[in-house]
Structure 1
Amino acid sequence: MLNTIGKTYAFPFGIESQVLFYNKSKLSEEDVTNYETITSKATFGATFKSMNAYATAPLFMSVGDTLFGEDGETVDGTNWGNEAGVSVLQWISDQNSNSGFVNLTAENAMSKFGDGSVAAIETGPWDLSAAQEAIGEENLGIAVYPTVTIGGNTVQQKAFLGVKLFAVNQAPAGSDTDRIAASYKLASMLTSAESQENQFTYEGRNIIPANKEVQESDTVQSNELAQAVIKMASSSDYTVVTPKLRQMTTFWTESAALLSDVYNGKIQSSDYLTKLQEFDADLAAAE
């Protein structure tokens, strides 16, 4: 159960993070620990012309900036308008001249992975079956995110971390305590250790269990995807919890536009700081 100050809010049943998928015929396990090595020995693909903020925005947290503060709940706590933030925008722009970087679209990412145009991509458990089909299960390697050099500093690239939950809405039950109790019992059953193990092993679902005991099972311990996601989720060095504030609606839209415009050359480098400061202010003022 997810508890805060002694109150039950929801029942977790899975954890979710993007990881690195790579072609083992082109890159080794050691190669994929570093972005510059990946792009010097082979190719890395991502959607930059039409930016996926979910995938790319955590670069700012990788260099020490925050999104809605350290706790992810402070509306005026985003601080991308600084030297570190500027270095992220410069890095994004620089990928235009990186011969090892390939811009993808949401529609062609897996086909480009399959035909060898790209040797590594960052995606999540939802794409496991497609990736195995694209390059063959025997060629698919899965790893945590690599380190990357931004602004002259080598940092661990981060991803957003999500938790899959069952929540109980008590409002429809009114004062019917039996109905409320039954709902909690159902949520507890659906998120039990047995249920989480089934969710993980059932073909095609690939939901990584949140339950620590299930994570220690032989089935999970021997699974490359599960181990990569669990390691990503294990530390703030690798992931930042996706904020749940309603202002995230503004964040997704504005960050995607800003990052795309930088990659597409619509914003001059001399304006990077100003644009980031405006972005911070927009999030702080968002309703």
Structure 2
Amino acid sequence: MKWNLRKFLVFGITLSSVLVMTACGSDSKNDKQSTSSDGSTEVTLWVTTDSKKFYTKVLKDFEKDNSNIKVKVVETEDAKAQENVKKDPSSAADVFALPHDQLGQLVDSGVIQEIPKEYADKIKDEQSETALEGASYKDNVYAFPYGIESQVLYYNKKLLNEDQVKTYEDITKNATFGANLKVVDAYKIAPLFMSVGDKLFGDNGEQVDGTNWNNAAGVSVLQWIADQKDNTGFVNVGDDYIAQFENKKIAAFESGPWDKEKATEAVGKENLGIAVYPKMNIGGNEVQQKAFLGVKLYAVNQAPANGDAKKIAADYKLASYLSSEAVQKAQLEDKSRNIVPTNMNVQKSDYLKNDELANAVVTMSEPDYSVVMPKIPEMTNFWTASAAVLSDTYNGSIKPDQYQEKLDQLVKDISGNKE
């Protein structure tokens, strides 16, 4: 595997930009020890679980070309980044991994700041538009993207062919599709509303009162969900979906890259097909089913530096390096990571194009196939409220004549409006 990590390190940051940024709201005194006995700057990096070996490897070139920076790698659960960092920012990591939907709350609470212009411009030049959207909040860039994540369609090639998985109707007519509608996971099912053209928190996902699911298109989504109970090609599955895939009770299901290995074991490598989401008929209209798109980020927490511009500059240099083309190429090709890149050059590489899953995820990242998950704090209202309405519709607790009323209330609940 050939990748030039050191080439990236030519790009740096002007110290003046950091000084301007840290002059506001930071104590000029540095009471915390940020340098080691040999005079080097110490940076603590929180990485996701089971990835320390990979980062130890790719950081060798970084430390070789930045001998004045020492990186301490600590594994944590990145899904809890917001909780762990906000608990005590001054004791948390200098640089940490996080899913992009936590960005809004971290920015609004003052934990992370807008990144220096040099780095923001580099992200705009090199990363995909959806990655930039995930790293931005209120028109400013706050973090460094390094991966994208979307669900895809897994199917058994013995039961379905490439043409049959292009539409949901063909899948369920020729075989079976499995999903959990009894106990809905809103991450998986709620994007049906965006598939019919509705908005969640407006066009950019940042408008608190911008959800419009309580319209005719939204009602058609609830009707579609209710109709699946009588669809002989639909099978409601719970946590047993991989077992059902293995025993051929279901021929297709939708999930993320995390299930590829299990799906392969279930039907065999030669029988596993991977495709983008199918088109489907909702309310008499053929629409492209959409998924939520997640963006993996690295963010800088300035609190531990306590105004030390040298340390903050080192933090940003490290975060940018972890988002670089070289590291993204390395993590794509490393089977222990296998993360789909945000860097446009890596997305065009032959290696990615020859990887069925990665290629499908990159296609799914396009606006026709996915919506970047909103990152505003009100998303905390969304998950439980929407899942309850969707589950109750399938289970029959909500009747057709109640759809409009329930959607009106859901829109209020999502926005945090208690009236």
Paired amino acid for 1:247: E
Confirm or deny that 1:279 pairs with 2:407: no
Confirm or deny that 1:102 pairs with 2:235: yes
Aligned counterpart for 2:363 among listed residues 231, 238, 260:
231
Q: CA deviation at 1:224?
A: 0.7
Q: Separation in 1 of the partners of 2:292 and 2:191?
A: 7
Q: CA deviation at 1:6?
A: 9.1
Matched-pair contact (CA < 8 Å) for 2:153–2:253: yes
Q: Separation in 2 of the partners of 1:204 and 1:273?
A: 47
Confirm or deny that 1:192 pairs with 2:324: yes
Q: CA deviation at 1:60?
A: 0.4
Confirm or deny that 1:139 pairs with 2:271: yes
Confirm or deny that 1:33 pairs with 2:166: yes
Aligned counterpart for 2:202 among listed residues 65, 69, 76:
69
Confirm or deny that 1:117 pairs with 2:249: yes
Q: CA deviation at 1:20?
A: 0.5
Q: CA deviation at 1:149?
A: 0.3
Q: Separation in 2 of the partners of 1:284 and 1:186?
A: 37
Matched-pair contact (CA < 8 Å) for 1:20–1:145: yes
Match of 1:264 in 2: 395
Aligned counterpart for 1:88 among listed residues 215, 221, 233:
221
Q: CA deviation at 1:286?
A: 5.0
Matched-pair contact (CA < 8 Å) for 2:381–2:416: no
Paired amino acid for 1:56: I
Paired amino acid for 1:55: K
Matched-pair contact (CA < 8 Å) for 1:159–1:240: yes
Confirm or deny that 1:181 pairs with 2:324: no
Aligned counterpart for 1:161 among listed residues 293, 299, 303:
293
Q: Separation in 2 of the partners of 1:138 and 1:194?
A: 31
Tell me the alpha carbon deviations over residues 182-233 of structure 1, each in whole angstroms, 9 at most, x when there is no partner: 1111112222212112211222433101111111111111111111111111
Paired amino acid for 2:326: E
Matched-pair contact (CA < 8 Å) for 2:191–2:292: yes
Q: Separation in 2 of the partners of 1:207 and 1:38?
A: 28
Q: Separation in 2 of the partners of 1:7 and 1:75?
A: 18
Tell me the alpha carbon deviations over residues 238-262 of structure 1, each in whole angstroms, 9 at most, x when there is no partner: 1111000111111001001110000
Paired amino acid for 1:149: N
Tell me the alpha carbon deviations over residues 2-24 of structure 1, each in whole angstroms, 9 at most, x when there is no partner: 57699641111101111101111
C-alpha RMSD of the superposition: 1.5
3-state SS, counterpart of residue 167 of structure 1:
strand
Aligned in 2, Cα 1:8/1:158: closer, same or farther, shift over 3 Å?
closer
Q: Separation in 2 of the partners of 1:286 and 1:196?
A: 41
Confirm or deny that 1:205 pairs with 2:337: yes
Aligned in 2, Cα 1:91/1:8: closer, same or farther, shift over 3 Å?
closer
Q: CA deviation at 1:264?
A: 0.5
Q: CA deviation at 1:37?
A: 0.2
Deviates more, 1:137-146 or 1:202-211: 202-211
Higher relative contact order by CA 8 Å / sep ≥ 6: 1 or 2? Answer: 1
Q: Separation in 2 of the partners of 1:251 and 1:204?
A: 33
TM-score (norm 2): 0.66
Paired amino acid for 2:318: L
Matched-pair contact (CA < 8 Å) for 1:126–1:205: no
Matched-pair contact (CA < 8 Å) for 1:250–1:286: no
Which of these two proteins has the greater Rg computed from alpha carbons? 2
Aligned in 2, Cα 1:199/1:286: closer, same or farther, shift over 3 Å?
farther
3-state SS, counterpart of residue 49 of structure 1:
coil
TM-score (norm 1): 0.96
Match of 2:42 in 1: none
Gaps of at least 5 residues in structure 2 are 1-122, 124-131
Matched-pair contact (CA < 8 Å) for 2:381–2:415: no
Number of residue pairs matched by the alignment: 285
Match of 2:375 in 1: 244
Matched-pair contact (CA < 8 Å) for 1:247–1:286: no
3-state SS, counterpart of residue 184 of structure 2:
coil
Matched-pair contact (CA < 8 Å) for 2:378–2:416: no
Tell me the alpha carbon deviations over residues 79-138 of structure 1, each in whole angstroms, 9 at most, x when there is no partner: 111111111000000000000000011x20111111111000000111111111111111
Q: Separation in 2 of the partners of 1:121 and 1:97?
A: 18
Aligned in 2, Cα 1:277/1:184: closer, same or farther, shift over 3 Å?
same
